[in-house]
Amino acid sequence: MSIHSNDDQDFLRDALPAFISESVELLDQLEQLLLELEDRPTDRELLDALFRCAHTIKGSAGLFGLLEIVAFTHHVETFLDALREGKTHLTGKTSAVLLQSGDQIRRLIMLVDPGRRDTDAAPDIADQRDTLIAALVAALPASALQSTSTQHADDAVAATTAAPAGAHRIALHYKTDTFRDGFDPLGILDYLGTLGTIESVSLGVDRLPAFDAFNPEDCHLDLSLVLRGSSTTAEVEAAFEMVREDCEISVSAIPDREAADARDFPAVAAQDTQSDMSDTPAPVSATSATTSATAAAAPSAIDRRAAGERRQGDDARYVRVRADRLDDVINLLGELVIAGAGTGLLAQKIGDSELIESSHQLGRLIEEIRNGTLQMRMVQIGETFGRFRRVVHDLAAELGKQVHLEIAGAETELDKSVVERITDPLMHLVRNAMDHGIETCEMRLAAGKPAAGTLRIAASHDAGGILISISDDGRGIDRERVLHRARERGLVSPGVTPNDGDLLALIFEPGFSTAEQVTNLSGRGVGMDVVRRNVESLRGRIDLSSIQGKGTTIEVRLPLTLAIIDGFLVSVGSSKFIFPLDAVVEVIENRPTATAVDAHGCSVVELRGQVLPVMSLRALYSIESLEPERSSVVVIQSGGRRYGVMVDGLLGQHQTVIKPLGRMFRSLRGMSGSSILGNGEVALIFDVTSLCQLAEHPPPHHTAPPVKPLSNALNLKQGATQ
């Protein structure tokens, strides 16, 4: 058996990271639910979900023998149970205690993380625990304490959370599937052995059928015992956390003198095995206490399988995949897309209709695989937004402000890697808005605004990308002070007054980030320049608008994914370009080119009676080639505006694998990347937003003598304009 227990130890060690990451996710969820609960304190679904979170963490921790976590989480769970049973109500104070309790569980979990053992494990962690437990118990009315046990026969102990330690009489009535579920009663004995001395173990065999009718894999046993030790009833009950679905449990504290006589304690009378255990909410099925860290006994692969099943959670079943493996697949997929396009071109060239048909079929399948694979990387931005709830909650308390947080478009999906890299910049923007945007209640009331400020975080899809906006109804940006500061820092020459857009853009200059309390957006850790740099490194863009006294809105535009997009391929001369298909509204094909363009390559055309501004790529990028007699206009939508782009040829939809531009071309304006076409040619991918800006504010040097398109484009470097 020692072999098995070694196996178990190995298994536990291997499974610990999964436990930690799962628990951290559950804690995040717990936090979100708690914050939502503040708005809807009696929402039964929320309360149930909260209870499930705490219950699952407790169950998993028990599986790993992490008694500290089990014992503490038990108090949280008990309180949540009382909440959902309506025995107590959520107040601002208890809500704060629950949030802090979540933090406490998180700290306890971090302590068992082998990778983070060296964390500043606060020496006062025990004090915090005791304070929180006291607060949780105090918040629980006496009636709730008593009735918990009557409501849940199997939960008898929860009632006596605060009961003194001593002897406990435990009766276990196992269900038929116990063994099949991977549970062995020996395991629970081992586990209990860590809590105290086991006495008077007795096996009940009354339910054993006749040998002929006996199925050896069914369990027909009952077990009763007396546990003597210093454990509280809560700790004893926690030991059974993971076996609740496999047996009916009765735990009762017994007076010491009675314990001495407990030898006669009979095996528990057979109860109705079908009795409703559905009140046990967590999916903690089929796990064995053998897997406690101290377990020395029973076995086996079944435990492992069961533990694996349990981890899959209740709401949806997930497969955890390492992100880098997925990245590898996506990289390969990129190559596949290019190779597929190459095959398609070759088929066209050969002109064999069957081959063409076959390559079309291949192309369709590749597209489906591409969509499916990219979908795997898509996560909802709401998870990130959710974290802001806590920040806003805590910061509002800290700053003595009242802030109402509105979240919209939380279900908007974007690439996981984008989400990961945008979280910190967004967090900074939220903090800024809280810290410097929204005023104190007094100031707001004095300004004739409602006492509580509103912070709105919204996400939506926009022109093939995602638009995240963070707006507050605070004091807005004081342009005078910004200008004053900018002059002080030498960012604006004396006597020059920049236009409003440029003035606001100064906020993003590095000099501003370190300003202490001077502007309304002074830095907090990272500066606004870092925020902008982070956004731009994601091929995104950040815009700021502000009305003094009314509020500030910051809009962050990001591409949906960093890997592959649906593109629309066009040609100008011999050069090929790609627009993100989502940004293309329509095309006007084959119209006479004879439109006069100005020096910047800009012009207007009439589209259904409306004037549409258009730009000539040939002029804008000084592409050397003869202008054809007829050309087409691609109508692009960007940030609520429409404009047209004149091109020579429309080559159709194209699956575009985005390759980053090399360092030399990274600052190329209007472009977001490059792609390799099937025939090996390189096409540049437009960033429609910056292309639009480029057309509005063309670089001064763009009339430089034309050279090859790419090298000429170097003249369009952003640096050259400023």
Partner 1 sequence: MSKDNDTIDFELPDDVGIYEVGELYRDLGGVLQAFIDATGSSGRHALRLGAQRVTMIDTAGLQLLLAIAAELQSRGLALRLIAPSSALRGVVDRLGANALLDLPPLAQAA
Q: Which residues bind partner 1 (CB under 8 A)?
A: 1, 4, 179-180, 184-186, 189, 200-203, 205, 208-211, 214, 216-217, 219-221, 223, 225, 297-300, 302
Contact 693, 674 (CB under 8 A): no
Nearest to residue 617, comparing CAs of 672, 663, 571? 571
The least distance separating partner 1 from the CB of residue 236, rounded to whole angstroms, comes to 18
Nearer to partner 1, 247 or 619 (CB): 247
The least distance separating partner 1 from the CB of residue 176, rounded to whole angstroms, comes to 12
Contact 535, 623 (CB under 8 A): no
Query: What are the start-end ranges of the H helices in 447-527?
Result: 479-488, 500-505, 510-513
The least distance separating partner 1 from the CB of residue 333, rounded to whole angstroms, comes to 43
What φ, ψ does residue 619 adopt, rounded to 5°? -75, -45
Nearer to partner 1, 105 or 302 (CB): 302
The least distance separating partner 1 from the CB of residue 325, rounded to whole angstroms, comes to 33
Nearer to partner 1, 300 or 693 (CB): 300
Structure-token match 């009675």, residue found: 258
Nearer to partner 1, 221 or 692 (CB): 221
Asked whether the CA dihedral 329, 332, 334, 340 is positive or negative, the reply is negative
Neighbours of 637 (CB within 10 A): 18
Nearer to partner 1, 200 or 417 (CB): 200
Nearer to partner 1, 289 or 578 (CB): 289
Nearer to partner 1, 178 or 622 (CB): 178
Neighbours of 147 (CB within 10 A): 15
Contact 586, 608 (CB under 8 A): no
Nearest to residue 463, comparing CAs of 673, 260, 196, 643? 643
The least distance separating partner 1 from the CB of residue 2, rounded to whole angstroms, comes to 10
Token pair belonging to 419: 């989400």
The least distance separating partner 1 from the CB of residue 245, rounded to whole angstroms, comes to 17
The least distance separating partner 1 from the CB of residue 174, rounded to whole angstroms, comes to 9
The least distance separating partner 1 from the CB of residue 260, rounded to whole angstroms, comes to 17
Contact 647, 632 (CB under 8 A): yes
The least distance separating partner 1 from the CB of residue 208, rounded to whole angstroms, comes to 5
**What is the pairing mode between strands 551-559 and 584-592?**
unpaired
Nearer to partner 1, 86 or 266 (CB): 266
Q: How many helices (H) and strands (E) does the chain have?
A: 23, 21
Contact 248, 170 (CB under 8 A): no
Nearer to partner 1, 217 or 442 (CB): 217
What φ, ψ does residue 380 adopt, rounded to 5°? -80, 140
Nearest to residue 569, comparing CAs of 646, 653, 675? 653
Rounded CA-CA distance 64/76 in Å is: 19
Nearer to partner 1, 219 or 691 (CB): 219
DSSP class of 282: S
The least distance separating partner 1 from the CB of residue 190, rounded to whole angstroms, comes to 9
Contact 167, 254 (CB under 8 A): yes
Rounded CA-CA distance 702/709 in Å is: 12
